[in-house]
Amino acid sequence: MRPHNKWLVALSVTFGTMMGTIDAAIVNVAMPHLRGAVGATVQEITWVSTSFVLATVLVMPLTAFMGRLFGQKRFYLFCLSLFLVGSVLCGMARSLTALVIFRVVQGLGAGALLPTEQAILRQTFPPEEQGVAMSFFGMAVMVGPALGPSLGGLILDSWPWPWIFYVNVPVGLLGLFMVHRFVHDPEDIAAYNRKMAASQRKNLDWAGIALVAVGLGSLQYVLEEGERFDWFASPRIAVLAFVSVFSLAAFAIRELTAPVPAVHLGLLRHRRFSAGATVNAVTYAMLFSVTFLLPVFMQELLGYSATQTGIYLMPRALVMFVTTAIVGRIYNRVSPRALIALGMGLFAVAAYQMGHYTLDTSHTGILAALILQGIGFGCVYVPASTLALSNIPREKLADAAGLNALLAQIFGSTGLALFAMLIGRFGASARAAVNAHVLEGRIDVRARLDHFSQLYEAHGRDAVSAHRAAGRAFSELISRQAMMLVFDKLFLLAGMCLVALLPLLLLLRKGPPLANVASSGQTSVVET
């Protein structure tokens, strides 16, 4: 039985992705409330986020494998149900241990939702509308950053904290009904999956599954917790880093030689897919990293409140949402490589503007760069995703979507870990550089200290305490200026990383899409 309407199919599978992205944003906002509710320290409560990410990463590369084994639609319904069960259990948790365990359950369900939706959309929309399909998917991904913080604040201000998880239930139940009613595995995909399922059962790749679980689990733990444990100064991080490298190397060898691999790493041999997935992953990583840096910069250096920060960041997500929709509509009329180059250029210009922020930068100056950045990301995401999957046969789309999502997640975590580490590394050198120019004998320094002293004396302090307070205030000003230099350097670095990807556009030629076999169900030869 074929689906009645492609838009109903798209809407049905979008509920899962939206819930996953919104839930992640809401939980990040709710961390202080969760810490008080379960009696955890600041370090311990990070496991509420880390455990979810670890579970999500473990499932992503195995999505296609499980879909073939149990059926693509059936596996999606199971994962969406598991996510809802995990949400209810998280709301019922009253200890940190229980909350972390139930977040793992949530993550195991969420890990398959995003790549499966991407595959279903690609299989449902005709070749000439693949850009529209990817824009629909991109808009679903961006709903979380746009609405999550505001929705989380509203829920926490109005209801007890468990409702940040319970809110998933009515939306998820509607998604389950719509997927059950409107989504059906295409006949050619179902036939291929039945054939491959028989081969998989005879040659279950237990070694590959074990190696990818250990390798990705260790790698994600290193990326999530490395900064807190001072990286390789910690024996735990050093050992897990070695385990991840060894396990992933063994996993790659296993999957490239296994008769029926659990993860089709051979797809990475296809130049267009590898180039498109890399562009997407690095762009996602830079966006993820800048999104991490901006709230810290705005709150700690500019003195904005958390609410103000959320309000000023929302326009970027809304601009990305609108740009993604527009790019999807014009994809077939404009060169995809030109769109990607334009997006990278806009992102770089925004990074240049952000790299010249000062302690006096207004919210208008911040907003201008964020809008450029949002337009840039929207211009990159849709064409890069569409081109990356355009030379993948229909029956391998789930494999490619899983790899694409996994690369984005790993690059995002790597970028975040790298930039968090560089804050400390750059901070020491920036403070030394500023101190070298701040000598107490300089006239301008003395004038500033005298100004601070006069201000404190005007508020009733004696000369001695006013002088000491002036010294502390001046030292704080130096520290803030040094950190300003650090953030400027990191914002510029994000733009440079994206510009460095421009040569990959040579591999993203828009050849005849092999998805043209979608209508006939035929199998095509993949371009290498």
pLDDT, tens digit, 9 for 90 and up, residues 317-351: 888 888 888 888 888 888 888 889 999 899 889 98
DSSP assignment string, 184-224: ---HHHHHHHHHHHHHHHHT--HHHHHHHHHHHHHHHHHHH
What's the confidence (pLDDT) of residue 475?
Answer: 64
Q: In the predicted model, is pLDDT for residue 105 greater than 80?
A: yes
Tokens, residue 458: 């005007």
393-419 mean pLDDT: 81
- Please state the pTM of the whole predicted model: 0.76
Q: Which residues of 99-116 are buried (b: 16+ CB within 10 A; e: fewer)?
A: bbebbbbbbbbbbbbbbb
User: What count of other Cβ atoms lies within 10 Å of the Cβ of residue 133?
Assistant: 26
Q: Exposed, middle or buried, 357 (CB in 10 Å: 0-12/13-18/19+)?
A: buried
Residue 513's pLDDT band (boundaries 50, 70, 90)? Answer: very low
Which residues, other chains included, contact 33 with Cβ-Cβ below 8 Å and sequence gap of 6+?
156, 161
Residue 83's pLDDT band (boundaries 50, 70, 90)? Answer: very high
What's the confidence (pLDDT) of residue 87?
Answer: 92
Q: Exposed, middle or buried, 171 (CB in 10 Å: 0-12/13-18/19+)?
A: middle
Q: In the predicted model, is pLDDT for residue 525 greater than 60?
A: no
CA angle 195, 201, 202 (to 5 degrees): 95
Q: Tens digit of pLDDT for each residue in 20-32?
A: 878 877 887 777 7
Tokens, residue 231: 């990286």
What's the confidence (pLDDT) of residue 142?
Answer: 72
For 12: left if phi > 0, alpha if psi spans -120 to 50, otherwise beta; the answer is alpha
Q: Which of 115, 118, 66, 64 is nearest to 399 (CA)?
A: 64
117-127 mean pLDDT: 81
167-184 mean pLDDT: 88
Single-letter code of the amino acid located at 465: S
Q: Exposed, middle or buried, 469 (CB in 10 Å: 0-12/13-18/19+)?
A: middle
Q: What is the mean pLDDT of the chain?
A: 79
What's the confidence (pLDDT) of residue 511?
Answer: 55
**Contact between residue 508 and residue 343 where contact means Cβ atoms under 8 Å apart:** no
Q: Which of 172-176, 230-234, 309-313, 335-339 has the lowest mean pLDDT?
A: 309-313
What's the confidence (pLDDT) of residue 84?
Answer: 93
Q: In the predicted model, is pLDDT for residue 196 greater than 80?
A: no
3-state secondary structure labels for all residues of 223-267: HHHCCCCCHHHCHHHHHHHHHHHHHHHHHHHHHHHCCCCCCCHHH
Q: Tens digit of pLDDT for each residue in 370-379?
A: 899 889 988 8
410-431 mean pLDDT: 78
Q: In the predicted model, is pLDDT for residue 76 greater than 60?
A: yes
Q: In the predicted model, is pLDDT for residue 175 greater than 60?
A: yes
- The interaxial angle of helices 6-29 and 72-92, nearest 10 deg, is 30
